[in-house]
Structure 1
Amino acid sequence: MANIPINIRNGFFEHWCDDFLCHYGIESEFPKALSDLYTIKVAKMMEKKGDFDPDTKLGLFSCEKAVESLRELITECEGVGKVLYKEGFGTAVVGSVRAYIDQKCGNGVFDLWLNHFERKEYSKCLEVIRKLH
């Protein structure tokens, strides 16, 4: 994986590859929430190490519910977090996430989840995830 220095004040969003942003849309909630998810994760790691200033304003672009919905998807579909990371940085082809989730969880699952996600229907995203079990 790429070793890219991330400034948590700016977040991950500025590092997503152009193909990723073009595919999902620059205004899409999906890349924004993914950026926030990883930015928060890095901030928590820094906090555990004692390297985090609590006055730091994180570079966040989405809402808490979107981040939580994405976190639920990653939790329920083992391995997808790594695929998301790679697709965002361009080290996996665009569409890798869709292919991975559909292969693991069923054809069309990612598109259904993403459709609800982009409409900010987070409870419906959770319903899609719960049907996986």
Structure 2
Amino acid sequence: MPSLLPIPQLKDITTNKLYPAYKTVKGLTIQLNGTKTLLPKGDTLSALIMFADECGLKTVIITGGSESTGHSKGSFHGKGLAIDVAGTKYNNLTHSAALLAAKKAGFTHGAYEDFTGSRKDHWHFQIGAGNGLGDKHSLDLPKLYIKKY
């Protein structure tokens, strides 16, 4: 099924090859946390761009995209349907702001993954239910589900 969304436009503004960065048409920056983090394609890239444009930050740090390794078995990342947004230590976002931006962007399921005592905390957003993210992870709920590890 072909995408109904317009083809997203990003400008590569990378200054440090270790941390690729892209500017949206609205002038906001998507910063990848390293060269192993891959931008998604198609509708998920459009959703990521809209998330960046809607979240209220000038720069949003992304720690997961369409890479097929480094995620759980069956992960929606490998299918190109998920993103990970660096947690509150790196992105000055509230859970409610992240939830609202994700919903507006077209993500349907997600959670905040809280790795207590580490710097791995992040919001995981995906398009569609699956890989352990079902009804309690729906973004239609009033609050974002928080998974503690």
Say yes or no: TM over 0.5. no
Higher share of residues assigned helix: 1
Higher share of residues assigned strand: 2
| TM-score, normalised relative to structure 2 | 0.28
| TM-score, normalised relative to structure 1 | 0.30
